[in-house]
Amino acid sequence: MIYAYNEYLLKSHAKETTAQYLREAAADHVLDELCPRRSNWLTDQIGTVLRNLGHVLIALGRRVNTQSA
């Protein structure tokens, strides 16, 4: 069944949804101020390893590039 297009209902639903998202964002902001999120130790370690691996690969790539020239 197809319902008729009702602009008033669409606008009121959009306002309700926007208000709900704003309330959730405000609650998240308050929580972040009260107890800031700490980064995960394992994630930090993996990031460090990948960053170091990237530096090593770039250095090796440059070294191979200068030797082949």
Tell me: the pLDDT tens digits for 10-61?
899 999 999 999 999 999 999 888 887 777 889 899 999 999 999 999 999 9
DSSP 48: H
What pLDDT is attached to residue 57? Answer: 95
pTM: 0.47
Does 1 score more than 80 pLDDT? Answer: no
Determine the Cα–Cα distance for residues 58 and 53; give it in Å rounded to an integer: 9
Question: What is the spatial distance between Cα 61 and Cα 48, in angstroms, rounded to a whole number?
Answer: 20
Give CA–CA dist 60/55, Å, rounded: 9
Q: Which amino acid is at 36?
A: P
Backbone phi, then psi, for 39, in 5-degree steps? -75, 155
